[in-house]
């Protein structure tokens, strides 16, 4: 798999000249800002960030030691009703056992023009509330008052963290950003590795300055001999001088991020900067290296008490696994019985994370756990069975791509078994997954396998085998254009997992209603499923159907698209150029075998010509063949894409391919009376 054109820079502090930070102040909204009807550089924008300024300071606290304080000020223009969602803001923060951040919101005001004058409405306390996300995170949410078309809102929030960390900063979002400024203030004791991603970059400058902090201490002692005197307390102050590095990132007039078809997570391509603490160097202490490369990152994670040690616990499952392994002979059999056992007995509570929540023993007993509980348990069982199994750290699609070494890059873990034919990847949280068929949320470029000795290896998570979707369609057309037919659809691998999930998510009546509505308002009867629960086999759906809206009658002639409701009629690729890779999730092969019976008294006037479209580098192909024999038409159609991720430099070819395919699929068969 080849992935190109995603630009990522890991850099030392750079110095760029001619950078001027503009002066913006909360409460200084202008009449011109309120009068503006559309964004001057993007008339389609529903809102815009007029300015956003952040400061991340590492300060010394007398009680807690070094802490991080982050202040953020934001001003947003609302152009129309579609931009009202920007009046609802939220700030996530850590709130777990032993590590709690504090968030405070202030200076939150909505501004409007009333009679040519600026009217302000302050956010009251009842417009601010907290929401728990999971065991470790919460959100501070606010809803700005009196928002209208043309409003300007602004607010400030402060996050106090009892640790040394710098949050990621986005310079782009789904609306234009006129001005974005981010400053970091880092004492000489800490070394961060900054990394930028995206396609447009801020200007960067840095400077050093002398700073100091005071450490207060006290000492109690007895004034008399042998403890006979009074107790006296003396207070001391020590002034500590140090050098501080201030880095300024400045972005102006950055365009909105436009979501496109087949983008797994637009945030992967958003201009942003992240910081990973890579080293500490305190006076009179040895330098401590932290996350400087992937091996050091994963070794740190492996040594966490809720990760590596959990893999060594076996007593809670040994008797059960011994019974499971009785009668198994091959590694494949062992993998399947253990994998199926975990899937059947431990339910995922929908929480991600590579650290165990309940712990494997408790999760096994209570039959529920987070993703680490489940898949570290699976790994331990596979090792117990004598297989070479290791955990693989993953960043899910919603979490973004793990671009550079850092401990927060991952939020998920799966299992891998090493075999002579390569790795078998497993995730026991998904009901319909099979070996090497992972949940779609996991298919996010690469994961990181960790071995017992602390070494690691990059693992390709993207499937290389095509997933089949084979459709057999037989139908007849009567003289009034009514279509009556039968469909048999066979789905394999990833298509099978997706289909089973879709079927399982709804009652059968609801599923069929959806199928009917999505397929030209047809009426379905005699519906049946084969291999619905035997997930190692393809799932097969069969049904009969009738449709009154699948043909057009014009001037006594019948016009019909031969693929009926399976026709691809819209090109998903509309942009002239594309900066991001096209992500299909997995390679696929769609094949259609169609038999059409034309009505008595009619003959074929026009048939689509056969066609073949092949893309370069074996990226994919489309074939369309049709033949007539009396009143019967036979079609064989194939559409195959061989790469899960298509690099942006192939976008033009892919767009043209889809254009030609859709033009052919939408050509009509024309039937005339004889």
How many CB atoms lie under 10 A from the CB of residue 176? 22
Residue 137 has what pLDDT? Answer: 86
What is residue 84's DSSP assignment?
Answer: G
Whole-angstrom Cα distance, residue 490 to residue 469? Answer: 6
Strands 620-629 and 632-641: antiparallel
d(CA 374, CA 445): 22
Reported pTM:
0.84
* pLDDT, position 10: 43
| CB contact burial 3-29 (16+ within 10 A = b; e otherwise) | eeebeeeeeebeeeeeeeeeebebeeb
Which pLDDT score, from 0 to 100, does residue 225 have?
58
Is 359:353 a contact under the CB 8 Å cutoff?
A: no
pLDDT at 21: 64
Alpha-carbon span 670 to 103, nearest angstrom? 67
Instruction: Give the Cα separation of 632 and 630 in Å (integer).
Output: 6
Phi, psi of 553 (to 5 degrees): -110, 115
pLDDT of residue 632: 97
Name residue, tokens 């602390």: 454
Output helix, strand, coil percentages for the chain, rounded to the nearest 5: 20, 45, 35
The C-alpha angle 576, 86, 73, rounded to 5 degrees, equals 105
Q: How far apart are alpha carbons 169 and 190 in whole angstroms? A: 19
What's the distance, Cα to Cα, between the start and end of the chain in Å? Answer: 55
Report how far residue 549's alpha carbon sits from residue 40's, in angstroms, rounded to the nearest whole number. 46
Residue pLDDT, tens place only, 68-90 = 999 999 999 999 999 999 999 99
Task: From residue 246, give the alpha-carbon distance in Å to each of 25, 70, 203, 249, 581.
Answer: 21, 14, 14, 10, 35
Q: Within the chain, which residues score under 70 in pLDDT?
A: 1-21, 218, 220-232, 291-292
Q: How far apart are CA 33 and CA 17, in angstroms?
A: 30
Token output for 4: 């190109």
* Domains of the chain listed by start with CATH number: 9-210+243-287 (2.60.40.3140), 295-460 (3.10.620.30), 467-673 (2.60.120.1130)
Instruction: Give the Å distances, CA to CA, from 418 to 97, 325, 342, 345, 423.
Output: 36, 18, 19, 24, 5
């Amino acid at each position: 798999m080849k992935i190109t054109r995603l630009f990522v820079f890991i850099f030392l502090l750079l110095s760029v000249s001619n950078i001027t930070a503009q002066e913006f102040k909360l409460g200084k909204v202008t009449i011109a800002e309120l009068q503006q009807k559309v964004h001057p550089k993007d008339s389609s924008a529903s809102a815009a960030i007029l300015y956003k300024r952040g400061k991340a300071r590492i300060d010394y606290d007398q009680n807690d030691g070094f802490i991080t304080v982050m202040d953020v000020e934001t001003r947003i223009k609302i152009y129309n009703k579609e931009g009202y969602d920007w009046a609802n803001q939220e700030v996530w923060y850590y709130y777990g056992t032993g590590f709690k951040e504090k968030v405070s919101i202030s200076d939150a005001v909505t501004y409007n023009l009333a009679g040519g004058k600026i009217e302000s409405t302050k956010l009251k306390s009842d417009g601010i509330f907290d929401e728990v996300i999971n065991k470790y995170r919460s959100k501070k949410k606010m809803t700005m008052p009196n928002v209208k078309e043309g409003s300007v809102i602004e607010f400030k929030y402060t996050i106090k963290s009892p640790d040394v960390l710098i949050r990621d900063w986005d310079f782009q979002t789904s609306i234009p950003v006129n001005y974005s400024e981010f400053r970091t203030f880092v004492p000489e004791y800490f070394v961060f590795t900054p990394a930028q991603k995206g396609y447009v970059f801020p200007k960067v400058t840095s400077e050093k300055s002398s700073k100091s902090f005071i450490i207060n201490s006290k000492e109690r002692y007895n004034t008399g001999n042998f403890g006979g005197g009074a107790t006296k307390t003396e207070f001391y102050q020590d002034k500590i001088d140090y050098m501080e590095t201030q880095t300024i990132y400045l972005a102006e007039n950055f365009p909105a991020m436009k979501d496109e078809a087949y983008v797994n997570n637009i945030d992967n391509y958003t201009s942003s900067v992240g910081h990973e603490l890579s080293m500490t160097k305190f006076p009179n202490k040895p330098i401590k290296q932290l996350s400087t490369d992937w091996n050091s990152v994963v070794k740190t994670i492996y040594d966490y008490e809720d990760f590596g040690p959990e893999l060594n616990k076996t007593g809670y499952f040994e008797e059960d696994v011994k019974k499971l392994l009785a009668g198994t002979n091959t590694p494949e059999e062992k993998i399947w019985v253990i994998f199926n056992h975990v899937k059947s007995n431990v339910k995922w509570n929908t929480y991600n994370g590579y650290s165990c929540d309940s712990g494997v023993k408790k999760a096994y007993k209570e039959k529920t756990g987070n993703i680490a509980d489940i898949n570290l348990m699976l790994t331990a069982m596979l090792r117990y069975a004598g297989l070479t199994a290791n955990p693989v750290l993953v960043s899910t699609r919603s979490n973004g791509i793990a671009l550079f070494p850092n401990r927060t890059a991952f939020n998920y873990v799966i299992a891998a078994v090493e075999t002579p034919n390569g790795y078998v990847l497993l995730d026991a949280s998904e009901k319909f997954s099979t070996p090497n068929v992972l949940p779609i949320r996991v298919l996010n470029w690469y994961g990181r396998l960790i071995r017992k000795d602390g070494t690691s290896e990059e693992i390709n998570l993207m499937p290389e085998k095509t997933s089949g979707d084979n459709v057999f369609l037989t139908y007849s057309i009567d003289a009034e254009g009514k279509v009556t037919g039968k469909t048999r659809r066979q789905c394999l691998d990833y298509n099978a997992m997706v289909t089973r999930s879709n079927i399982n998510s709804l009652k059968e009546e609801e599923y069929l209603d959806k199928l009917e509505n999505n397929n030209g308002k047809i009426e379905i009867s005699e519906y049946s499923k084969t291999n619905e629960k035997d997930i190692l086999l393809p799932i097969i759906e069969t049904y009969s159907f009738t449709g009154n809206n699948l043909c057009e009658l014009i001037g006594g002639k019948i016009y019909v698209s031969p693929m009926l409701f399976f026709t691809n009629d819209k090109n998903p690729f509309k942009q002239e150029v594309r900066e991001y890779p096209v992500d299909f999730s997995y390679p696929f092969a769609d094949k259609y075998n169609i038999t059409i019976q034309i009505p008595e008294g009619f003959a074929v006037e026009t048939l689509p010509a056969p066609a073949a479209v092949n893309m370069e580098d074996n990226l994919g192909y489309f074939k369309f063949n049709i033949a007539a024999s009396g009143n019967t038409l036979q079609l064989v159609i194939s559409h195959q894409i061989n790469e899960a991720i298509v690099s942006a430099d192939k976008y033009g070819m892919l767009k043209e391919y889809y254009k030609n395919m859709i033009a052919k699929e939408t050509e009509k068969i024309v039937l005339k009376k004889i």
